[in-house]
């Protein structure tokens, strides 16, 4: 006997008893094999479903009983429908579309005739309102997709599609005057410098010449060899323009050398990249670079949430979104520091970010975790006021203060290198709960402004100071087990709502961090640490792949839900309701949490945590 349509789930729970009887009498049942296209409009061919009433399913409301259905526009998955969810309402209400519905698993659907469905909508306003609201949300989503279409084209564009300036070479003994003439003749703002004897190739910009001749007073007949930079950053011609933007943002440069194999084919200038992007949304990096005061910088920072929404809406993977946002955030922090700090403070200190920002895994703005390492013996008048303004500025930009005070405006996190070394020694040799927290976040630290060698020295000291006592690493790893992973037997999700960070992201990140610290790794990013640990045979390729996929899936799900709820500014919480996820999302969550649960067992065994 076919399984009856459930009247306990939304929106069918809004029907009266008489309306339910009518639905039960009119509903049909259809079965589609995996891979079949499901017809929803007249004239759609059907590859052979089995139905109890002989219909092909066209012009009927489809309510999924079992299985999974994807709604496709070309190759793009627009939506996934699992048990209890219905489609294609838009066609039934008179707006047939071009989207295709495909069974991704063997699928069983209840079919409700169009006439019955429309009668119920007219007779039962709460029932009809639910479907109309669903349509409004889909139309809104369609508008967002349309608005971001230009960003999509940018995401897929290759460097070869932009204008690449041909490589123009000059010799190291070329004069500054002749170099300017060469730039004018080729209408470029940079030249490549090589000696023709197999030596290194350098790049010379118009700014290099201007600074040397106008600011430093060098004669126009000076050779350009010493003025060039020989640490060129290059990208392959078939790399994505998106990557070029990330690289320019990350390194604060205006051009990259373009190669094809071992051959230099030209130079991609920032101005030409911007020309390609002239009709695309929110190029925040340029506003950051041009900011001359805190007002301009705040305006640039305010565009990041919209950029995140655009990138995610166009299918950019969460790993690349995090990379782009990390580069932008670090440029904002560096610019703010440079606007507030005198040049001698910038030269004699290192501004650092820690935690998820240090690992390059922060997307939405979270609590500040930053510090300042001062060169030993250096003092700066008014330092307290400068660091206070820095912390205040970030708060105004939307970065919440750290509840634990891990910010540059506290003495514990603004101190000389010797002070950091002393603190590190205490964290390692007196590892109470607070010390282990500080050690964990500092191990993730990355430099964003000033002299990065100061952080390098502090991290080297940390690695050298680490105990060889297994007990130390066991205590450090123990927080991996602090929170229950909310998945039970047979991959059943536990609870009406769950904390995706405590239950999934944190144990994975801290477990990997603990293994990395034990092996004295210098990598900061969790995925980079996973790869390094695999190379050391700490775990095999299968586990490495599972951990990476689980982390990215959890980060993606958290971001997707926050954006869907309108939380595009800050990471307000990490709670999700499994009953609000579609079938595909629930399966991803179950699989990811199962991997986390197995990984926690691995960490428990590796660090002998059952002994404590």
Number of neighbours of residue 433 by Cβ within 10 angstroms: 10
Task: Let me know how long the chain is.
Answer: 612
Q: How far apart are CA 373 and CA 448, in angstroms?
A: 12
Domain 12-147 matching CATH 3.40.50.620: the answer reads no
Q: How far apart are CA 357 and CA 400, in angstroms?
A: 13
pLDDT band at 468 (very low <50, low <70, confident <90, very high): confident
Residue 406 has φ and ψ, to the nearest 5°, of -85, 75
Judge residue 371's burial from the number of C-beta atoms within 10 Å of its C-beta, 0-12 exposed, 13-18 middle, 19 or more buried. Answer: buried
Look at residue 78 in the predicted model and tell me its pLDDT: 75
Contacts of 350 (CB under 8 A, 6+ apart): 372, 373, 447, 449, 450, 451, 452, 453, 454, 455
Give the containing element (helix H, strand E) for 576: strand 575-576
DSSP string, 254-314: SEEEEEETTEEEEEEEHHHHHHHTTTSS--HHHHHHH--SHHHHHHHHHTHHHHHHHHHHT
Fold entry, domain 471-611: 1.20.120
Look at residue 253 in the predicted model and tell me its pLDDT: 85
Q: Any idea which residue has 């290059």 for tokens? A: 234
**How do residues 568-611 score in pLDDT, each as one tens digit?**
555 556 888 887 777 778 888 888 998 999 999 999 999 998 87
531-539: average pLDDT: 96
Look at residue 160 in the predicted model and tell me its pLDDT: 86
Q: How far apart are CA 45 and CA 58, in angstroms?
A: 9
β-sheet bridge partners, residue 371: 352
387-415: average pLDDT: 94
Contacts of 261 (CB under 8 A, 6+ apart): none
Q: How far apart are CA 299 and CA 193, in angstroms?
A: 39
Homologous superfamily (CATH) for 163-280: CBS-domain (3.10.580.10)
pLDDT band at 418 (very low <50, low <70, confident <90, very high): very high
**% pLDDT > 90, the chain:** 47
Provide the Cα torsion 220, 225, 229, 231; round to 10°: 170
Mean of the per-residue pLDDT values for the chain?
Answer: 85
**How do residues 214-243 score in pLDDT, each as one tens digit?**
888 889 999 999 999 888 899 999 888 878
Q: Quick check: 201 and 172 in contact, CB under 8 A?
A: no
Contacts of 401 (CB under 8 A, 6+ apart): 367, 368, 391, 395, 407
Q: How far is CA 583 from the centre of its chain?
A: 23
Q: How far apart are CA 612 and CA 610, in angstroms?
A: 5
Structure tokens at 594: 């199962």
Look at residue 54 in the predicted model and tell me its pLDDT: 38
Q: Any idea which residue has 């809406």 for tokens? A: 313
330-354: average pLDDT: 95
**% pLDDT > 70, the chain:** 87
Judge residue 403's burial from the number of C-beta atoms within 10 Å of its C-beta, 0-12 exposed, 13-18 middle, 19 or more buried. Answer: exposed
Question: Sheet harboring 263-269: ordered strands across?
Answer: 165-166, 263-269, 255-260, 234-236
Q: How far apart are CA 184 and CA 188, in angstroms?
A: 7
Is the pLDDT at 500 greater than 80? The verdict is yes
Look at residue 2 in the predicted model and tell me its pLDDT: 54
Domain 293-463 matching CATH 2.60.120.10: the answer reads no
Q: Quick check: 405 and 374 in contact, CB under 8 A?
A: no
Look at residue 14 in the predicted model and tell me its pLDDT: 86
Is the pLDDT at 46 greater than 50? The verdict is no
What would you report as the CA-atom Rg of the chain, rounded to the nearest whole angstrom?
29
Look at residue 544 in the predicted model and tell me its pLDDT: 94
- Indicate the pTM of the whole model: 0.64
For the chain, what are the domain ranges? 12-147, 163-280, 293-463, 471-611
Q: Regarding beta strands 69-73 and 60-66, do their DSSP bridges make them parallel or antiparallel, or are they unpaired?
A: unpaired
β-sheet bridge partners, residue 62: 87, 111
Question: Sheet harboring 414-416: ordered strands across?
Answer: 414-416, 370-374, 349-353, 446-450
For residues 571 and 44, the model is more confident at 571
Q: How far apart are CA 253 and CA 189, in angstroms?
A: 13
Is the pLDDT at 372 greater than 80? The verdict is yes
Look at residue 495 in the predicted model and tell me its pLDDT: 60
Q: Quick check: 398 and 570 in contact, CB under 8 A?
A: yes
For residues 422 and 40, the model is more confident at 422
Q: Quick check: 58 and 101 in contact, CB under 8 A?
A: no
**How do residues 512-531 score in pLDDT, each as one tens digit?**
999 999 999 999 999 999 99
**How do residues 101-131 score in pLDDT, each as one tens digit?**
999 889 999 999 989 999 998 898 888 877 7
CA nearest neighbour of 58 among 14, 22, 111, 110: 111
Look at residue 126 in the predicted model and tell me its pLDDT: 83
Look at residue 236 in the predicted model and tell me its pLDDT: 93
DSSP label at 214? I
Is the pLDDT at 93 greater than 80? The verdict is no
């Amino acid at each position: 006997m076919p399984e009856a349509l459930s009247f306990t789930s939304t929106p069918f729970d809004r029907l009266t008893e008489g309306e339910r009887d009518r639905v039960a009498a009119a509903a049909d049942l259809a079965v589609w094999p995996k891979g079949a296209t499901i017809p929803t409009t007249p004239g759609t061919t059907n590859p052979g479903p089995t139905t109890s009433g002989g219909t092909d399913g066209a012009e009927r409301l489809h309510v999924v009983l079992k299985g999974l259905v994807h709604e496709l526009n070309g190759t793009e998955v627009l939506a996934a429908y699992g048990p209890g969810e219905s489609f294609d309402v838009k066609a039934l209400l008179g707006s047939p579309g071009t989207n295709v519905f495909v069974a991704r698993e063997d699928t069983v659907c209840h079919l409700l005739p169009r006439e019955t469905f429309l009668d119920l909508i007219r007779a039962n306003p709460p029932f009809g309102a639910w479907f109309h609201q669903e349509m409004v949300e889909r139309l809104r989503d369609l508008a967002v997709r349309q608005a971001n279409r230009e960003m999509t084209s940018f995401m897929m564009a290759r460097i070869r599609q932009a204008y690449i300036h041909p490589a123009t070479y000059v010799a190291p003994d070329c004069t500054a005057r002749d170099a300017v003439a060469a730039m004018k003749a080729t209408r470029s703002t940079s030249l490549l410098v090589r000696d023709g004897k197999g030596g290194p190739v350098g790049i010379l910009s118009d700014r290099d010449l201007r600074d040397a001749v106008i600011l430093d007073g060098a004669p126009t007949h000076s050779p350009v060899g010493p003025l060039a930079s020989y640490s060129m950053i290059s990208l392959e011609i078939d790399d994505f323009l998106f990557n070029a933007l990330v690289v320019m943002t990350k390194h604060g440069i205006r051009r990259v050398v373009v190669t094809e194999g071992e051959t230099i084919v030209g130079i991609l200038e920032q101005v030409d990249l911007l020309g390609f992007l002239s009709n695309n949304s929110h190029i925040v990096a340029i506003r950051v670079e041009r900011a001359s005061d805190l007002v301009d910088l705040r305006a640039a920072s305010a565009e990041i949430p919209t950029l995140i929404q655009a990138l995610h809406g166009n299918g950019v993977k969460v790993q690349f979104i995090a990379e782009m946002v990390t580069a932008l955030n670090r440029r904002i922090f560096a610019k703010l520091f440079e606007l507030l700090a005198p040049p001698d403070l910038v030269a004699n200190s290192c501004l650092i970010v820690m935690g998820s920002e240090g690992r390059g895994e922060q997307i939405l703005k979270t609590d500040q975790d930053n510090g300042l390492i001062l060169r030993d013996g250096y003092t700066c008048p008014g330092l307290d006021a400068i660091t206070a303004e820095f912390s205040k500025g970030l708060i105004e930009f939307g970065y919440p203060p750290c509840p634990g005070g891990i910010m540059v405006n506290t003495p514990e996190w603004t101190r000389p290198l010797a002070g950091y070394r002393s603190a590190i020694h205490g964290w390692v040799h007196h590892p109470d709960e607070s010390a282990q927290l500080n050690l964990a976040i500092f191990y993730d630290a990355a430099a964003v402004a000033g002299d990065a060698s100061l952080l390098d020295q502090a991290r080297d000291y940390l690695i050298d100071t680490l105990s060889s006592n297994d007990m130390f690493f066991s205590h450090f790893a123990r927080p991996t087990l602090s929170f229950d992973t909310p998945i039970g037997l047979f991959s059943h999700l536990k609870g009406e709502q769950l904390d995706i960070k405590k239950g999934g992201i944190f144990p994975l990140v801290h477990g990997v961090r603990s293994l990395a610290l034990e092996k004295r790794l210098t990598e900061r990013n969790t995925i980079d640490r996973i790869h390094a640990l695999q190379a050391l045979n700490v775990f095999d390729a299968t586990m490495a792949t599972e951990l990476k996929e689980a982390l990215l899936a959890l980060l993606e799900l958290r971001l997707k839900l926050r954006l869907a709820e309108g939380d595009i500014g800050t990471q307000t919480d990490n709670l999700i309701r499994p009953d609000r996820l579609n079938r595909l999302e629930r399966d991803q969550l179950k699989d990811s949490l199962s991997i986390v649960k197995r990984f926690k067992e691995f960490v428990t065994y590796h660090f002998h945590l059952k002994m404590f």
